[in-house]
Chain A
Amino acid sequence: EIVLTQSPGTLSLSPGERATLSCRASQSVSSNYLAWYRQKPGQAPRLLISGASSRATGIPDRFSGSGSGTDFTLTIGRLEPEDFAVYYCQQYGSSPYTFGQGTKLEIK
């Protein structure tokens, strides 16, 4: 089973700032099958990125994903108020599919 470790656990930033979230895999993620989600309290996760770098339908271009192999990054260009939430990475390259433990992005 691939273990995904996200860092930092909590990130404190201000609206308008740039956020960089990391996701490291315990082994290489096949075909860079890595997704990113944003989850607000009381809501289901929302897909942001699939295939490590492809934005999902309706996701603004301030969100970008990068990386390959075992190291992946989600960058949010300019933080909007709705971006303060918990972010999860997920690998779907090998079963069982696994999620990271999450990064909480909070308002500084």
Chain B
Amino acid sequence: DQQVKQNSPSLSVQEGRISILNCDYTNSMFDYFLWYKKYPAEGPTFLISISSIKDKNEDGRFTVFLNKSAKHLSLHIVPSQPGDSAVYFCAAAGGATGFQKLVFGTGTRLLVSP
């Protein structure tokens, strides 16, 4: 039972354009969401988070949008840079799993070409 889904395994974008990565969740009890970025053979690094009381959170080039009614969140990267090429995981917490555990999606591989 995949509670957090990233339906696009890969995304290709040109440098300078916007990258939009999507994530859907099924558990309505989730109320905290995170995005992590991962390079090959390295651990994920925390990027940005959002709690369910907000619908948008911005940090520099990265913005996360949350649509609770649709159980959907997205990560926007503007402008995209070649160094952004990595796998992006969304994760969720809350509800029965509490805040001790994160439930991860399967990841989206972003390729930003010069």
Q: Do they bind each other?
A: no
Give B residues with C-beta under 8 Å from A: none
